[in-house]
Amino acid sequence: MTPQEPTSLPVKRSCPFDPPGEYRALQEGGGVTPLAFDASPGPATGWLVTRLADVRAVLADARFSHRNDLVALAVPPPFPMDTYRPEPAAPGAFPKMDGAEHARYRKLVAKYFTVRRTRELVPVAERIARELLDVMAADGTEAELVTAYAEPLATRVMGELAGVPEADREELLHHLNVVARMRYTLEELMAAITVVGGILERLVDAAFETPGDDMLGELASTGVLDRPELVNLVWALVGGGFDTTTNMLALGTFALFEHPAQLARLRAEPALWPNAIEELLRYLTVSHLGASRAALEDVELGEQLIRKGETVVVALPAANRDPERFPDPGTLAVDRATQGHVAFGHGVHQCLGQHLARVTMLVGFRELFARFPELRLAVPPEQVPLRDDMLHYGVHALPVTWARRVL
């Protein structure tokens, strides 16, 4: 094939719900494109993969590694640095591991995130959602939905499962949100990870001394993890669980406001909600920076040769808008057949908390729109602040009202 000029990772959007427009041209141009890396040192170029079939192939192929010490940064580091030397993942931080090491840790926690186990949390999620909605209703006819509902719902449900006491959740969330930025100072990062680490170390110590019947207590009582391993493992689970579901709830609500016919259909056919959630996951794809893998050997992909050591970035938002799999992919259709989307990734590293996220979203959306049938944006849509400066996309705030319009 004719050599292509390396592209930078597309990040600018023309619509709050659509991925960058460059992705479509990249798909039409072959779907495997040289990618320029801004991190230093690291390779000058790697690869950007945009077609769904190729993305799924990379994520399912053991010849592509997720190891932290092998993957180059596709976006500039969050603060200026002379060198970038990724280190191996710390013991217990299994999402950045491969093979037997990854499988050992994942197996220990997988039982807490099965379909059956997470469905048992439905009454808990319903109780929390109704409590939050009661507070919103008591406070008037307007609210900021991220802080009043989406964030505390996701945080409390995950906290209940993991064994994070309510008294620690707000501070933990605040500092995890700092770590989730794409830009921060070294001082801000160190302060945030010090606080998060301190809270989790205290909770792990308490779990070893007096194990409860939650995930943290049960893992401490197995005797197969030491304290640092359990701290890092819980950090990986809680960090992801607090952030992604919050963003899907808030951004999904915004998207439904802007697609009133789809919201009206859900009100008329509530049985469509589970499918609608899959469509929102596909359509919005809050993992807007994609996922990175490093080639462990030379691999041919889409008529391109990926050399050993090169980093491949799979563009999840582009893959979920691939017209070869999803006709008219830029349209939100709550009854669409969504099988095969990669909003939660694919392969052995597929998001462990996906079933918990689905349960939380199902309860969250149902309860919200049932409680406030008149719910709508309280500001013009262009005034909603977007999280394009964060590792996971969404909205920073979503002002809503449920007061009746005066005609």
Which DSSP state fits 272?
Answer: G
Question: What mean pLDDT do residues 173-177 have?
Answer: 91
Instruction: For residue 164, give every residue at least 6 positions away whose Cβ sits within 8 Å of its Cβ, in sequence order, or none.
Output: 158, 172, 203, 216, 238
Residues 120-129 have pLDDT tens digits of: 999 999 999 9
Give the up-direction half-sphere exposure of residue 113: CA atoms within 13 A in the CB hemisphere: 19
The residues spanned by each domain of the chain are: 22-401
Cα 266 to Cα 264: distance, rounded to the nearest angstrom: 5
Q: Which one is the CATH code of 22-401: 3.90.870.40, 1.10.630.10, 1.10.10.60, 2.60.40.10? A: 1.10.630.10
3: pLDDT strictly greater than 70 = no
β pairing state of 304-306 and 45-49: unpaired
Distance spanning both ends of the chain, measured CA to CA: 61
Residues 208-254 have pLDDT tens digits of: 999 988 999 999 999 999 999 999 999 999 887 788 899 999 999 99
Residues 89-125 have pLDDT tens digits of: 999 999 999 999 999 999 999 999 999 999 999 999 9
Per 3-state DSSP, the chain is made up of helix, strand and coil in percentages (nearest 5) of: 50, 10, 40
